[in-house]
Structure formats: structure tokens, C-alpha cells
Structure 1
């Protein structure tokens, strides 16, 4: 399987090389190619929804194989273009990937604000191959909107993507010459130990939610910067059907976990922390609770179906910067 992934990636990269050669190769002021990687679906259902996704390791292997051949054949280091959530959730962290300049897309953040930066999320940051130890993303180009006013820049059409470059004029020229090298920085750790604490547990009757207030810390007692929590029932006390779990991050390293649909009974299990980026290690703490029978809800009267209403037109630029 890995050999097939490498073969496919290199075949696609070779097509890019041939296309570049057919137009005369890079010019002196041309930036290198960018690999636009935003989708890991490898098979669709008949209704066009995704039937199968590539694994995180497969996506990463494909990307590194593609980029390596492109760099070798063209003499310039190509970009990788993507968005923070995809880099964290669909790819594994790789020191090899970090050797390529990152073109990061994240909208609704004003680059004119000196404190604004892409790659952050509520109570933490997205952790991927370019995330530093202080939770910032080591991007070279930031695409901050897809709603630029095209005529303002002499571009046909109504809207276009706008970007900012981070670096000096010399660094920009290094990209065009093939002499760009990544900055030496401290990256996030791998599988750093964690500790889970249930600060508060509330369980009463079947008509109410079972809730946990959970915090997760690192060895230095700082909160974790990514990941999530879930409740894992003890196999000796299975629950069917499985209750619905919802998680809300209230601040960095702190979550409210709610279980809906827990039947009456006594339960034991664990509150488990999981980080798909493998920055922080999985950990858990035991939890025991009881639920008694609550008031059964009265069946809701059947109302006639309302006439369908036309959905309002959505504005794709509603929260984006327009300039």
C-alpha cells in the first residue's frame, strides 16, 4: 500500500513537471508551485457524499512524496496550501513536511491587527507540522479572505483571494531562486504526558443530562492546547442504545462534557482525553455515577407539516474581510 501511494504521488508530480517544462520552466520572478491539499476523500457514494477517507498517514505520505519529487525536478521548494483544521485532523505531524513553506488559509481574521494570527482556535491552537511550541503557526503566506474586490486590483470578475507574505524581501526572493530554507524553531512535543481531572460531575434523573467539567494539564501544569474528551463506559456495564455525547471547550484545556439518553442505573467508566495530533498523550480518569428514572415526557402532538419555504440566499462573504 505505501508503495502504491508513493507511485501515485510521484506520477502526479511528474505531470506537473512536464506541464512546467511545456511553458518554458520557471521565470526569474516566478514563485514555486503550491500543492493545494484540502480534501482526503478517496471514494464517493452515489449521492456524492464521501464513502471513504484516506488515513492520516496515507495523506502525509502522498504529500511528502509529491513535494519531494517536485523539488528535485524543478530545483525550487514548493509550497503546501491548506487550512489549519485539515492539517491537524487529516495529516500526521512530520518533520519532512515542515521543510516546505506553508501557505495557510484562514478567513475572518484581520491581518492589520498586530495581535491577529491564523492557526488558533477557541482555548488553544491547531497543532500540525508547522505549529511552534508557543502555539503559533509557522506560515509564509496567509490567505486571509476569499472575498477581495477583484476590480479594485484590476482582476476580471467580482471577488478574489487576498494574501499577506511574512518575511523580508530577501526571503521572498529566496523562494524564487530555490534557496529558501525553513527557519529553525521549537515545535510542539510528541505524546507529551497529560493528566485528566473531573472538576465537577452532575448526574440525577433520566430526563436530565449527565455533565462533567473536565480539565487536562501538561507536565508543566499548563493546559493542553488541542485535543478533546469523551466518556468511555466500562465494558462490564454496557449501555444500549449509546447515549449522545456533546463536548464544548470552555477555555484552554477545559471542557464541558454532556451525556444525553443515559437510562436509569449505576455506571462506571472513564473520562478520556484524546489528541489526534499526538502532541499530548491519551490519558483518563475513572468516573462513577448513578441515574434514577425521571419523568417520562408526554408524546408531542402531531402537527401538520408546514408548507416548504424557500431558503434564504446565503452570503459566502458574510464574515470575511472585503477590501
Structure 2
């Protein structure tokens, strides 16, 4: 479909396929991409021929996180926005930061709020903002060698969307978010972070097969059954937690660690800062099965025997 710059949109056989399409940036989420994704999701929800949505990423990753470079970041708040001679919000105050995060959250929450079900088809990296998207979907099917995690929790902030506890429970949510470590698709299935993990060569057929089964169901009935499950989650505080997650991320942005991150980016650049941060964590992986033994470089050992 024309009109989108950072995503691809197509409909076929009763489903819409939305593809994050910044492969050269590992589909890092810019403001423009988030706004376009929200618009595409509501387009699919409004189309009576669409029963469900497949959300995927182009290239070698689903989504490697938020775009921290600041590129592709200008999305007018309204058609009358005119910055000449006017003072609009930036990121000057704590309230400005919360307001900007809430704006982005409203775009992402379309995944949860729309009536029709969404399948996240995850391959490669699914990090930080990628997890924020995937875990807002109704079902996540991943390649068994996909990588899930939230490395920015090491120094940059908290999570502006947080459905981890509703999927993998409080202990594994803490294990991953308190370290920024990652798990594979197979491990993510074992702890309930995703619904299912399959070999990469089978991922497309697995997702399309499920979408095809939902295409046989009246979309209004799909809506009724999605929304009652989501309502159950809301009664458990899921929506309120998302509002609080934004406030908590602002808190994270005002820590000494976040100040150090920003200072390092200004001095050394973003890539060097991320490289130095993550080097301290070795391979950056958690182990779901068996003891977590590491070599002198912080890399897990004995993976062949335990996995």
C-alpha cells in the first residue's frame, strides 16, 4: 500500500501483513515508524476483509529496539503544528519526557486495543522496543534462534511498555530485566515469554497457517474472544501498568547510570557506548536450562550439553 515510508502493508487471504521496513537499521523504531505502524494497524482493523494481522520485520531482524540516533523523529502532533515562534514540548522537563513517552505508547497500544488479533512473527533480534511491540501482540511465534531481551535496562532506563510479567511471570521478568540479558526463541517459549518457537525455515508456514485458521472465523467473533481475554488482563491491572511503566521509565532516565550513558554518547558516540556497556556482560545471555557457568570472558559454557 502506498503512503507509508517505513513499513510495508499488504492484504491477502483474510489477513493483513505489516512489515517493519528499515532493514539497514535492523528495523529500529523511529517516531515515524511507530506512527505509521499505528495507522496501519487501525487500517487493518477497519477493513472487513481482514481477520487478523501478521507483524514481521524485513531483513535479518524483527526489531532491534528504539532508534536512539534521533533520525527520522519528526512527526507533527497535529495538522496545525507550526514550530516557528511557538514553544512546544521537547525533553526539557520530567513532564515533557513523560508526555513524549506517553505519545509513543499510544501508538504502540494499538496492538492491544484493536479488535482483531495480531500475530508477531519474530526472527533475529527482538530487543528493547522490539519486545515492547511483540509482547503487545496477541500471540508471538518466533524462530527458535531468535534473541529476546531488553539491554537498555542496564543503563538507560526502564521499560515504557511492560507485558513481561503477564507472559513469563515475576521471577523471569526480574531475571531478564534486572540484567538486560537475553534468551533464545526456544528458551522464550519455555518460560512463557512467547507462545511458540519453531525452526526458522518453518516460521513463515507456521504463522501463515495460524492466520489461515483465523481467516475461517467471523472477524466479529474473533474480536469478541480477543477482547474478553484482554479485559481479563485489564482487570489484573495490565493497562494501568502500562501507564505506570511510562512514569517509571522517566524515573529510569533520571538515574546516574542514564546520565553516564548520555555523557558517553556525547563523548564517544552511540555505537562505542553500546559496545562498551554490553562488553561487560560477555555474551549477554541468560540460561534457562541448567547451571549458568561462564568462561573468563563472561560467555556461557557447556551450551551444547544443556540445549
Using structure 2 for the length normalisation, give the TM-score. Answer: 0.37
Higher fraction of helix: 2
Larger-gyration structure (1/2): 1
Greater relative contact order (CA < 8 Å, ≥ 6 in sequence): 2
Higher fraction of strand: 1
